[in-house]
Amino acid sequence: MDQKNMNTQQVVLITGASSGIGKEAARLLAGKGYKVYGAARNVEKMEELIPLGITVLPLDVTNQSSIENCVDRILTTEGRIDILVNNAGYGTFGPVEAVPLEEGRRQFEVNLFGMAALIQKILPVMRKQKSGRIINVSSMAAYFSEPNGGWYHATKAAVERYSDALRMEVKRFNIQVVLIQPGMINTEWQVIAGQYLLKYAANTVYEPSARHQAEMFEMGYKRASKPVVVANAIVRASTSRRPCLRYKIGGMAKPILLLRKLMPDRWFDAITAYVMNGKN
């Protein structure tokens, strides 16, 4: 899928392009000559992308009409979509006992079902083209859990298994599916996750350990990788003729996943709980 060898300009749709990883990926791909559409709920936050030749569109991945309007507008203008980058997502943190089920469902709606709805809308287009690439932003969190992160980790594990099945289903149509697995990245994610954590743990027996964990988030993400590190992996996944199936990238992703693979569950649980809960 090397753009230099294509007769038509490659068209890319990136969700969650209003900040962080999505915004950086949009900049980089536009700089390489791709026709980039950046989509997010907050269009105002994407205005700085417009002078770079990026078209910004409103998109709420939990709303089917919004998905239809976004994709149809691109198809009306371009007639094709070559690369879909599913980057939209957020982290709900809080004790499993305390997080309302409706919030857990919303976490799945945004991180999994919204992505799936967008893929279902775009797959027929890619099959007709007889080519396409779907890049799903997962997380190293798909392979382990931490206290108060049950819902978020569950969604990322689901994204991985969903993507694996999708990859096998669509390979025969010349459609490739790639997973990006960021580690610790300095974005708005940790701020939002920390806010949810403190909100749902407030006035419960979990509050002291949750406060410690929120402090650990803040300390850890100050040393985290910048979003452009992950954006560069998205560019590699977009431009390589034979991309990797998974890109482990960013702060602590490779060492943590290696430890998870080699260490017995009880040991990993004990270390993770100690780090995140402290003495609480």
Question: Residues 34, 37, 152, 162: which is the catalytic one?
Answer: 152
Task: Please answer whether residues 147 and 97 qualify as being in contact, where contact means their C-beta atoms are separated by less than 8 angstroms.
Answer: no
Q: Is 143 a catalytic residue?
A: no
Tokens of 259: 């430890």
Task: Please answer whether residues 111 and 89 qualify as being in contact, where contact means their C-beta atoms are separated by less than 8 angstroms.
Answer: yes
Q: Is 145 helix (H, G, I), strand (E, B) or coil?
A: coil
Question: Cα 277 to chain center, whole Å?
Answer: 26
User: Distance of CA 91 to CAs 138, 161, 258, 265, Å?
Assistant: 12, 19, 23, 24
Tokens of 140: 């190293």
- Give the position of tokens 């995140």: 276
Exposure string (b/e) for 15-29, b if CB count within 10 Å is 16 or more? bbbbbbbbbbbbbbb
| Count of residues making up the chain | 280
- Kindly compute the dihedral angle of the four CA atoms of residues 189, 194, 199, 200, in this order, to the nearest 10 degrees: 90
* Catalytic residue ranges: 152
